[in-house]
Amino acid sequence: MSGPRGVHRARLEWIDTDAAGIYHNTTVVRFAEAAEAELMRAYGIPGYFPVAPRVRYEVEFEASIRFGEEVETRVELIRLGRSSMTFGFEVWRTSEDGDRQRRAARGSYVTVHVPDKETGSSAPWPTAWRTALGATDARAESDSSRAH
């Protein structure tokens, strides 16, 4: 993995858990999007979230996270297409002694650039955003080349 990255650190709060005090599956999405926001801030991409809806999400849950545990979420841009971006992410929990981490979840998701809410049609990412994220002709792929 070598694309732009974002990291978000948090403590699992009660609101993030089910009745047993174990993280709720939707918490993973929130943590991933918080790390994505860190990535976009770090690369100077303003106004991204209102025009980048998620069109696909896939998560593999590997270990539990309990109320009060510390969590680190890492997001990486793994594909920058003409009008879509694919991100990979991992959610890690830190042991109580702070010495070990265990991966709790991993996955990927796709966002699409939809600047016109009236039409809901996708459009190419702004050139300034593509440049900031390091797009080159070799790295940027056409959305039409993506296998479905």
pLDDT tens sequence across 42-75:
999 999 999 999 999 999 999 999 999 999 999 9
The pLDDT of residue 137 is: 42
Is 54 inside any structural domain?
Answer: yes
Q: How far apart are CA 52 and CA 102, in angstroms?
A: 30
Query: In 10 A of CB 116, how many CB atoms?
Result: 10
Is 146 inside any structural domain?
Answer: no
Is 148 inside any structural domain?
Answer: no
The pLDDT of residue 75 is: 98
Is 126 inside any structural domain?
Answer: yes
Is 145 inside any structural domain?
Answer: no
pLDDT band at 9 (very low <50, low <70, confident <90, very high): very high
Q: How many structural domains comprise the chain?
A: 1
Is 144 inside any structural domain?
Answer: no
Residue range(s) defining the domain that contains residue 126: 5-135
Looking at residue 40, which CATH number applies to its domain?
Answer: 3.10.129.10
Is 91 inside any structural domain?
Answer: yes
pTM of the model: 0.86
Is 28 inside any structural domain?
Answer: yes
Please, what is the Cα angle at 132 between 40 and 42, to 5 degrees? 35
Q: How far apart are CA 112 and CA 53, in angstroms?
A: 6
